[in-house]
Structure 1
């Protein structure tokens, strides 16, 4: 047996050398080596050899053949033990084996059973995988497999994987892949980083600081709809940092880098996007538009706000309604260190519930939230300016049409939707007191006054009562509002 194995090992190494040196990729050679008997012989070598050089040569040949002839993959997947052997070799440190696992195209459920995450992360962090000459680079294969794991499976399992990726400093290695030559690799990196931000929002600071966005923006051209949405969703999450100045800096990069108009691309995409995608696209487009003078008319702004209102009113798609309500809330522009909108907490502070606001800040570990340093004052000023610009654009659209949509949402039996609409309505109503009066206050009062009174009277939650009172106090600053609130 040992003599036969030795001859087989020698043959494999020679074939691999000839393949590399003589470019043995002709159809006849591939057809000859792809026969089931030959493939099974290669597998026998994998099962019995302990020589790393032989194992690498065998994996290399199977990868080359499998990438050119799908029958090779079918032969390998016909026997579970063959696949198990490849997986075992990968876990023992044979990094080239990850390419063969990728070519085998295992389902997401099988990938979870293989328990490969730790090994995949090691390859992604290891620069050695960048220099291996194969049909697919091991690092690329590992990245694509990891993205598949994070894109499916049970939420609890996926969440655990995402947390390990975010906490293992693998994020920095994945960030570099945003500059990869292949768009498939860049999109996979986007999917991984997006899931990491959703799982551990604090890693978005590292991503925002180190990511080079130009290659990613270029990927929008020629991307499928699902790939476009991955990119847009990623960019949407990326500008939810706890410092307003950094958010606007990143928005400028998104708007100004690239060889084409990102705003025109988003506008065209918005017109054909699925209902649950529209709020994210519209929100990003609106933020990019407001980097310019907000008092000037803008087609992009009009279309973006129209899309948000349409999504908010589209009861046929409840998920899109909720997403629209939550994205409108995020437009206020203040976020925690983990990327959570702080609109509600900030409004509670305006309503006099400072302790609740401070509690939220402490829980989010916002060290710069306390004190009056120059940096803190500058950030507060930037946040206030952004909030005014955004509120002015939203309330001025179609003479307060958004107030109608928010009022409808407040009546929803879906608690999350009604709550988000209530907070957004309170925010915009409160902002009317610092915005130029263009007659919008009357429209807001007609839509929201009765709802605010009802919530103030019936709400059991102290915070909801405080928010309702804040909205009512805004109406009281207007003579007509005072008249409506005064019993006759």
Structure 2
């Protein structure tokens, strides 16, 4: 293990003193002006980072291949006396952290899936309830890793995780604890049923939610650009759950953050990716397996997936069928919950925030990037539909002229038929708004 990171080596490099470090860690050490070996303290003649220690890397890769599965199995089932059980549980969490978070993305995912197959999810949930603060912090990150590896376990975690424990981490002064809590909370609001999201959040006391929103606001102001859209969506969920007032500083900051993310998405690829995900999550159509299916749900309603020439059911159609089977077709109350969320969200996007969401959004509609344009068109469908469904619309059609012109451009000029359908659907919705 690297003496600087405390983690198993991924890319080991050996210095002239014979000490080995993780490449990224020793590069950071040198970047701070250090000219010595971190372990021996000896001044180095060369501060350049050498090539990978290929012999050590092969040994480590071989060891991981032989032992990772047996270690996962052992770590997920600690046994013995209460004291021994507690000791083994803490050690197991440490081992799982090594196996699920410090390797490459593919290996982390494979290990997480194997842990889930062994029934390790219940072990993590138990350790999150009974562990100390440090253990809870580690387990929160592991639960997020498991959800990323297999989104279908999200509902189980949301039903059984200790919510007070999540809030304990959120209110903690330790940056890592707070960060892990924020992103676990975000994972747990991405459920396939809007009723379940409301139930998960409403189980918390209003006073606790308000204090949590203040912490989220501070976190939002200090986190990275890539993280901001997700945190803003989480803040909106909490605010719209407990606060029906005309004005909210939390809602304003969240809307401004999403608007700024749209502006940044025009030139920053990473920001574009996270902004697109946040917009899709807001659309509230997620399958049980964790796939965001807002576009496919809209296209199916428009008849796009009912064409007779389609002999084989596509994966998007299967996802929509699964979503319908567990939500809309069997539960009118669920659809009402979705519509209520989208109406309040759409109203907030227009009314709250110092910056113009509509202006920024219109720029993204004509940015020329296929994925960004698609996500914006998807968003525009539920946005326009929600505003049009208000009994007495608070808005006049003229307020959306900047969007309507961009929708017409997509309808007339887009080379993708899905874009045309989404643009046409939005335009049809806007015709139902007075003026």
| Common topology (TM > 0.5) | yes
Partner of residue 233, structure 2: 283
Counting only pairs closer than 5 Å after superposition, residues 371-390 of structure 1 correspond to structure 2 as 376-390=331-345
Partner of residue 410, structure 1: 365
Secondary structure (helix, strand or coil) at the match of 1:432 reads helix
- 1:183 CA displacement: 1.7
Secondary structure (helix, strand or coil) at the match of 1:291 reads helix
Q: 1:217 to 1:151 in 2, by over 3 A?
A: same
Q: 1:192 to 1:472 in 2, by over 3 A?
A: same
Partner of residue 18, structure 1: none
- 1:402 CA displacement: 1.7
Which of residues 323, 327, 332 is equivalent to 2:283? 332
**Number of equivalent positions:** 374
- 1:338 CA displacement: 1.9
Residue pair 1:429, 1:444 contacting (<8 A) in 2 also: no
- 1:133 CA displacement: 4.5
Partner of residue 319, structure 1: 270
What CA deviation, in whole Å up to 9, does each residue of 1:75-111 have, x standing for no partner?
xxx999xxxxxxxxxxxxxxxxxxxxxxxxxx99986
- 1:219 CA displacement: 1.6
Separation (CA, whole Å) in 2 of partners of 1:276 and 1:163:
26
Separation (CA, whole Å) in 2 of partners of 1:341 and 1:164:
24
Separation (CA, whole Å) in 1 of partners of 2:286 and 2:188:
12
Separation (CA, whole Å) in 1 of partners of 2:193 and 2:57:
37
Secondary structure (helix, strand or coil) at the match of 2:180 reads helix
What CA deviation, in whole Å up to 9, does each residue of 1:146-200 have, x standing for no partner?
2233223222222211222233321111111111332221122111111111121
- 1:220 CA displacement: 2.3
Counting only pairs closer than 5 Å after superposition, residues 169-184 of structure 1 correspond to structure 2 as 169-184=119-134
Larger proportion of helix:
1
Matched, 1:197 2:197: no
Separation (CA, whole Å) in 2 of partners of 1:415 and 1:108:
40
Residue pair 2:327, 2:334 contacting (<8 A) in 1 also: no
- 1:467 CA displacement: 0.6
What CA deviation, in whole Å up to 9, does each residue of 1:224-257 have, x standing for no partner?
4343222211111111221211111112235648
Matched, 1:459 2:414: yes
Separation (CA, whole Å) in 1 of partners of 2:146 and 2:123:
13
Q: 1:225 to 1:365 in 2, by over 3 A?
A: farther
Q: Which sits farther off after the overlay, 162-171 or 464-473? A: 162-171
Separation (CA, whole Å) in 2 of partners of 1:118 and 1:428:
47
Partner of residue 301, structure 1: 251
What CA deviation, in whole Å up to 9, does each residue of 1:390-417 have, x standing for no partner?
2222222259922222222223344332
- 1:363 CA displacement: 3.5
Counting only pairs closer than 5 Å after superposition, residues 40-55 of structure 1 correspond to structure 2 as none
Partner of residue 123, structure 1: 74
- Greater Rg, structure 1 or structure 2? 1
Which of residues 63, 73, 83 is equivalent to 1:114? 63
Q: Which sits farther off after the overlay, 316-325 or 176-185? A: 316-325
Q: 1:479 to 1:381 in 2, by over 3 A?
A: closer
Q: 1:342 to 1:254 in 2, by over 3 A?
A: farther
Residue pair 2:358, 2:400 contacting (<8 A) in 1 also: yes
Which structure has more relative contact order (CA 8 Å, sep 6+)? It is 2
What CA deviation, in whole Å up to 9, does each residue of 1:130-156 have, x standing for no partner?
73549x823222222322332232222
Q: 1:430 to 1:364 in 2, by over 3 A?
A: closer
Matched, 1:148 2:98: yes
Separation (CA, whole Å) in 1 of partners of 2:197 and 2:164:
17
Counting only pairs closer than 5 Å after superposition, residues 462-477 of structure 1 correspond to structure 2 as 462-477=417-432
TM-score normalized with structure 1 length: 0.68
Separation (CA, whole Å) in 2 of partners of 1:358 and 1:400:
40
Residue pair 1:329, 1:341 contacting (<8 A) in 2 also: yes
Residue pair 2:154, 2:188 contacting (<8 A) in 1 also: yes
Counting only pairs closer than 5 Å after superposition, residues 57-96 of structure 1 correspond to structure 2 as none
Superposition misfits of 4+ residues, deviation over 6 angstroms? 107-111, 356-359, 370-373
Residue pair 2:113, 2:146 contacting (<8 A) in 1 also: yes
Consecutive unaligned residues in structure 2, runs of 5 or more:
1-17, 21-55, 308-312
Secondary structure (helix, strand or coil) at the match of 1:338 reads coil
Which of residues 365, 389, 398 is equivalent to 1:442? 398
Q: Which sits farther off after the overlay, 177-186 or 316-325? A: 316-325
Which of residues 366, 373, 385 is equivalent to 1:430? 385
Residue pair 1:214, 1:257 contacting (<8 A) in 2 also: no
Q: 1:332 to 1:150 in 2, by over 3 A?
A: same
Over the aligned positions, Cα root-mean-square deviation in angstroms equals 3.3
